[in-house]
Amino acid sequence: MELLHFDVLIIGAGLSGIGAACHLSRECPTKRFAILDRREQVGGTWDLFRYPGIRSDSDMFSFGFDFHPWPGLKVLADGPSIQQYISDTAEEYSIKEHIHFGIELSKANWDSEKKIWVIDGINLKTGERCSYSCRFLISCTGYYDHHQGYLPELPGAEHFQGDYIHPQHWPEKLDYCNKTIIVIGSGATAVTLVPALAEKAKHVTMLQRSPSYILSVPAFDKVSSLLLKFLPKAWVFRMARWRNIRVQRWLFKASKRWPKFVHKLLLRGIRKRLPTGYDMRHFTPSYNPWDQRLCAVPNDDLFKVIKSGKVSMETEEIEMLTENGIQLKSGRHLNADIIVTATGLNLQVLGGVELYLDDDLVEARKKLTYKAVLMEGVPNMSWIFGYTNAPWTLKADIAARYICRLLAYMDKHEYDFCCATDMENCAEDVSVMSELDSGYVKRGNSALPRQGKKYPWRLLNNYEEDIKILLNNPIEDGILRFLAKKTQKPNKNRPPEDLHSTKKI
């Protein structure tokens, strides 16, 4: 079996992977790299999800790449448009020729003798095993399982006679015209699905155990549209990105500092959009704003279909599924031809790839992350983990730029090994996503890397601070350690102790 070798390997050809590859091609042009992905085209999440109405829940000016701005004026773009944007970016920066599609990876092992990663997998087209090696490994796999979404055990599900669907695996030819549909859930997927399904369905019921905060945003950026008449396109889109990043950051900070005020502000906005006297119980969460992600809807679309009578809201617990619907604990019964379980995701680290150091298994759930980019105790490896309290790509962009800085620094000083080591036992018993109180975070807490007591082992989730730290601060800080070429080899599971820490970049 042939072993293909590269300087850098990127796992995942989604938004993060394509972004990282573009940064590599621009900032480290001498590096030979490849992207490995199990799918057959770029896009990751935006190629996987195909349910009606699939769209972003972040504005596209800040969700798009910094180096390749989103080209349109639609604020919340649909899934196919985002997938096309990722594909166009890969095309423009000649990334597609570096992608190996249809490769499902299972194991990545660091060989400390050769100072390389060896990655094993299967070619899904041929069924044959394949192997790759690299000096530096970048994981761009996101944080959830692409194979299976979260499906709670609902009593009686086996008795339901209609279509029972999870949005992550939407049937391509499902006919829902004039059907009665129940969507179970209250998060971003549910508030996206419900208005889209209501266009053709007879009636849609959004059944939730507890409500989420919902924020209506303009579907179209009228300010940028006006400015385009007077200013160059590049200026306008940069200004829109700058503006939206700051508005989002202000809302997050305000939510944390004045939660009661923001709570009232959000509910006042919802109340104005609903029919007079509508039961606000369905839109009043029991938690503070930004304890979970806010749900964004374009141009009041969810509220409009509620006003039309095509959508009903129910906030109750499920007793069981029946042959023709759902029995609620209150005793009421909801009829349905189709039940959609928009019940969330299963969290997964590194896309399911098992990590080894000299054939010893590494448990990611016991590791810290350094600056939220490198994994503690794991040599020459990084992962791209975007923001959970802001558009994902903001962090993915600057994390990729930091990795390029790190690679350039290692080349300049002839280092072939870097590793971050926690010498102060900073680990806490919470995960890197612990600031969110969402159900999927609670379920997956034990699978994710740990949060640290202090920086650089603690996530800041602060774009302004992360820019300074990742793009301007010195690379060497006494925590990130290096080994020069042709020196002693590192101990099997930790870096050598007598390493360099004085040079600045």
Residue 434 lies in a domain: no
Of 346, 347, 345, 343, the residue nearest 449 (C-alpha): 347
Residue 442 lies in a domain: no
Residue with tokens 């009661």: 260
pLDDT digits (tens, 9 = 90+) for 280-336: 999 999 999 988 889 999 999 999 999 999 999 999 999 999 999 999 999 999 999
Residues 329 and 463 in one domain: no
Residue 437 lies in a domain: no
Residue 177 lies in a domain: yes
Task: Name the phi and psi angles at 42, rounded to 5.
Answer: -70, 165
User: Across the chain, which distance is largest between two alpha carbons, in Å?
Assistant: 76
Residues 335 and 351 in one domain: no
Could you tell me the residue range of the domain that residue 251 belongs to? Answer: 157-341
The mean per-residue pLDDT over the stretch 103-127 comes to: 95
Identity of the residue numbered 383: W
Burial of 365 (0-12, 13-18, 19+ CB in 10 A): middle
What number of other Cβ atoms are within 10 A of residue 323's Cβ?
9
pLDDT above 90 covers a percentage of the chain that reads 73
What number of other Cβ atoms are within 10 A of residue 216's Cβ?
19
Residues 134 and 169 in one domain: no
Last residue of a domain, one of 341, 362, 391: 341
Per-residue confidence (pLDDT) for residue 302, from 0 to 100: 96
Residues 472 and 361 in one domain: yes
Residues 471 and 397 in one domain: yes
Last residue of a domain, one of 284, 314, 341: 341
- Dist CA 384 CA 87 (whole Å): 19
Residues 193 and 334 in one domain: yes
Q: What confidence tier does 143 reach under pLDDT thresholds 50, 70, 90?
A: confident
Identity of the residue numbered 365: R
pLDDT above 70 covers a percentage of the chain that reads 94
| Distance of alpha carbon 429 from the chain centroid | 22
**Is the pLDDT assigned to residue 1 strictly greater than 80?**
no
Per-residue confidence (pLDDT) for residue 429, from 0 to 100: 83
**Is the pLDDT assigned to residue 136 strictly greater than 80?**
yes
Residue 498 lies in a domain: no
Higher local confidence (pLDDT), 483 or 92? 92
Q: Considering its fold, how many domains does the chain have in total? A: 2
- Dist CA 359 CA 340 (whole Å): 42
Could you tell me the two tokens for 374? 């490198």
The mean per-residue pLDDT over the stretch 43-53 comes to: 92
In CATH, what number is assigned to the domain containing residue 224? Answer: 3.50.50.60
Residue 277 lies in a domain: yes
Of 385, 399, 344, the residue nearest 151 (C-alpha): 344
**Is the pLDDT assigned to residue 165 strictly greater than 90?**
yes
- Dist CA 172 CA 52 (whole Å): 10
Residues 402 and 418 in one domain: yes
Residues 231 and 281 in one domain: yes
Confirm whether pTM is higher than 0.85: yes
Q: What is the CA radius of gyration of the chain?
A: 24
Identity of the residue numbered 370: Y
Per-residue confidence (pLDDT) for residue 488, from 0 to 100: 47
Last residue of a domain, one of 308, 341, 374: 341
**Helix/strand/coil (H/E/C) assignment for every residue in 472-493:** CCCCCCCCEEEEECCCCCCCCC
Per-residue confidence (pLDDT) for residue 231, from 0 to 100: 92
Per-residue confidence (pLDDT) for residue 494, from 0 to 100: 39
pLDDT digits (tens, 9 = 90+) for 360-406: 999 988 899 999 999 999 999 999 988 888 899 999 999 999 999 99
Q: Which H or E run includes 246?
A: helix 233-257
Task: Name the phi and psi angles at 103, rounded to 5.
Answer: -115, 115
Helix, strand, coil abundance in the chain, percent, nearest 5: 30, 25, 45
Residues 127 and 190 in one domain: no
Residues 24 and 135 in one domain: yes
**Is the pLDDT assigned to residue 498 strictly greater than 70?**
no
SS3 of residue 100 by DSSP: strand
Cis amide bond preceding 171, omega within 30: no
pLDDT digits (tens, 9 = 90+) for 402-440: 999 999 999 999 999 999 999 888 888 887 777 776 776
Of 445, 435, 448, the residue nearest 292 (C-alpha): 435
pLDDT digits (tens, 9 = 90+) for 209-233: 999 999 999 999 999 999 999 999 8
Return the half-sphere exposure (C-beta side, CA atoms, 13 A cut-off) of residue 359.
1
Residue 329 lies in a domain: yes
Higher local confidence (pLDDT), 265 or 490? 265
- Dist CA 42 CA 90 (whole Å): 8
Residues 293 and 328 in one domain: yes
The mean per-residue pLDDT over the stretch 102-107 comes to: 95
Could you tell me the two tokens for 458? 């603690």
Residues 219 and 103 in one domain: no
Handedness of CA 221, 223, 226, 229 (dihedral sign): negative
Residue 98 lies in a domain: yes
